[in-house]
Amino acid sequence: MSMKVLLLGLGRANIAVAEYLTERGDDVYLYEDHPDRLSNRARDIVDTGQVREYTDTAYDLVVTSPGFPIDKPVIHRLADANIPIIDEVEFTFRELKNPPVIAVSGTNGKSTTVAIISTILRTAGFATFLGGNIAPGQPFSTALMHKPYEQYVLEVSSFQLMRIDTFRPHIAVLTNIATDHMNWHRDYNEYRHAKARLFMNQNADDYAVLNGEDAGVRALADATKARVFFFGQDEKGGAWANNNYHYRDEKIAPLGTSRLEGRHNMMNMLAAIAVAKILDVENKMIEKGIDSFNPLPHRLEEIGTFHGIRYINNSMCTNENAAIASLEAITGNKVVIAGGRMKGDVGDRYLEKIVEHAKACVIFGSNADYIVRFFNIKSYTMFAIAENMEDAVSKARKFADAGDTIMLNPGYASFDYFSDFLERGEAFRNAAKQD
C-alpha cells in the first residue's frame, strides 16, 4: 500500500528521499519555503510532477531536511495532527533495516573524523559508505539507491538527532561539546541534549567512543548502555598519544606522518583509531590509512604559497572553539581573515586570541562593527575592514610579508554574504590564486 509522505524542504538530503519514494510508488508532497533556491536537480523533480505541493496535514509520514527549523508553524500543525515527523537520517536507517552504522557527532571535528574512519576502513578492505551531514559529501539517503555496504560511516548533526526515533549506531562517537547553533536551538541545554541522543538507542552490544578530555562528553559515559571507549592524549586505557598514536598498550603509528595540523586533529585521529580497533582493523592498515589521508577541503586546507605567502582556507570554521584551535595549529606570523554571522555566541575568546597571536586581521562579515569595537577596546590597531572576499585577500596581502600565512579563519557562520561555508571557501581560494 502506498504512503502519503510530506517532505519538509528539498535540499540535498531530501532529494534522494523524494526519488526513492516516487520510484517505490508513494505519493510525495513538498513544503518548501524558498522554491526559488532549489537546485537544478530538485527543480527537475518539482517540474516533472514527481512531488506535489503541500496542501493539508493529512499525511502518513513527514520527513524533514536536517536544518529545517523546529519553530516553523507548519511543524506545529503537523505535530498537532499526530503525524510522525522524522529526519532524513532516521528515515534512511529504517528503510535500510538497522544497517551497521558508525555515527560521529560533536561541535567540532565531525567531518574530519568520519573521513579518517572511512579512509582507514577502505584501506583495510571494508565496503564503506561515507556520508551524512558532511559537506561536500553525500547524504545518508543516497545509500537507499546503492547496494548494501559493510559499514555506513555518518556525520550526524544536532539538528538531525533532534528528530530521530529508532536510529541506533553500532559505534557512536562524540568528539566534543561546546556552544554552537544557538540561533537554532533554544538554549545550550537543548543543544547538549540533542548530542546525547546519539546514544539513546544503543545497548550492551554497541560502543560509545567518547572524548575523555571533554568533561561534558565524559559525563555521558554513565548515561549510555553501550560499552565505552575513551580517547585523549592521556587516555591510556583507550586511544592516546605521545610521540606515537597508541591504543592501550599497542603502538599504532608515528604521530608526525599525518598531513593534518594541530592538536585538535590529533584528537580526531585518536577517535578514528578507537573505532578501527573496535572493528579489529590491523595496526598496519590503520597506519597505512593515516599516512594516506588527505585533509578535507575548507578545513585548514592548504591552497598554496604565492609570492612567498602561504594561504590556508579554513572556511568550515564557524564557531569560537574551532577558530581558536585552528589559529593555534598554524605556526609563524598569521594574517587572519575573520568575521561573519553570529550564531548566538559573540566569540570574544577567539577575538582575544587574534589580538594576542595574529600579526593582523582583516574583518569581513556582518558582525564587523562588533569586532572593530572589540579591537578598539583592546588597543589592537592592526586590522582593516573588507567589502568582499577579493578585497579581504587584497588587504591581507598588504599586511603580509614573505614567510607569513594568510588564513581564512572566520569563527562565524557564512550566511551573511554566502549560501554556505563551501561558497565562502571557494571565494577565498579563487582570490588567493589571483596575482
Instruction: Tell me: pLDDT of 402 over 60.
Output: yes
* Ramachandran assignment for 85, one of left (phi > 0), alpha (psi -120 to 50 degrees), beta (any other): beta
* Ramachandran assignment for 371, one of left (phi > 0), alpha (psi -120 to 50 degrees), beta (any other): alpha
More confident residue, 304 or 33: 304
Q: Which of 273-282, 304-313, 413-422 has the lowest mean pLDDT?
A: 413-422
Q: Could you please report the per-residue DSSP string of 284-326? A: HHHHHHHHH--PPTTSSEEEEEETTEEEEE-TT--SHHHHHHH
Instruction: Tell me: pLDDT of 47 over 70.
Output: yes
If residue 42 lies in a helix (H) or strand (E), which one and from where to where? Answer: helix 40-47
- Interatomic CA distance for residues 387 and 337, integer angstroms: 12
Strand (E) positions, 136-243?
151-155, 171-174, 207-211, 227-231, 239-241
- Interatomic CA distance for residues 33 and 69, integer angstroms: 11
Task: Look at the chain and count its residues.
Answer: 435
Q: What percent of the chain has pLDDT over 90?
A: 77
What the block records as the C-alpha cell of 37 is 533556491
Task: Say what the pLDDT of residue 182 is.
Answer: 47
Per-residue pLDDT of 365-382, as tens digits, reads 999 999 999 999 999 999
Core vs surface per residue 45-78: b (16+ CB within 10 A) or e: bbeeeebeebeeeebebbbbbbebebeeebbeeb
Tell how strand 101-105 and strand 171-174 pair up: parallel
The DSSP letter of residue 413 is B
Average pLDDT along the chain: 93
- Is 166:202 a contact under the CB 8 Å cutoff? no
- Interatomic CA distance for residues 387 and 417, integer angstroms: 10
The DSSP letter of residue 129 is E
Task: Say what the pLDDT of residue 284 is.
Answer: 97
Instruction: Tell me: pLDDT of 184 over 70.
Output: no
Give the residue-averaged pLDDT of 413-428: 90
Long-range (24+ apart) CB contacts under 8 A made by 131-138 are 131/155, 132/89, 132/103, 132/156, 132/160, 133/66, 133/157, 133/160, 134/110, 135/111, 135/420, 135/421, 135/422, 136/297, 136/422, 137/111
Task: Say what the pLDDT of residue 183 is.
Answer: 57
Task: Say what the pLDDT of residue 180 is.
Answer: 52
Domains of the chain (ranges; CATH) run 4-83 (3.40.50.720), 90-292 (3.40.1190.10), 301-432 (3.90.190.20)
Measure Cα distances from 145 to 18, 42, 148 in Å. Answer: 12, 17, 9
Per-residue pLDDT of 249-300, as tens digits, reads 999 999 877 888 889 899 999 999 999 999 999 999 999 999 999 888 898 9
Tell how strand 360-363 and strand 239-241 pair up: unpaired
Peptide bond into 136 cis (omega under 30): yes
- Interatomic CA distance for residues 176 and 108, integer angstroms: 7
Per-residue pLDDT of 319-329, as tens digits, reads 898 899 899 99
Task: Say what the pLDDT of residue 36 is.
Answer: 83
Give the predicted TM-score (pTM) of the model. Answer: 0.89
- What does the angle CA 299 – CA 304 – CA 306 come to, to the nearest 5 degrees? 140
Tell how strand 309-313 and strand 301-306 pair up: antiparallel
Q: Which of 33-37, 225-229, 431-435 has the lowest mean pLDDT?
A: 33-37
The amino acid present at 387, given as its one-letter code, is E
- Is 179:350 a contact under the CB 8 Å cutoff? no
Nearest to 199 by CA among 210, 186, 189, 191: 210
Tell how strand 85-87 and strand 151-155 pair up: unpaired
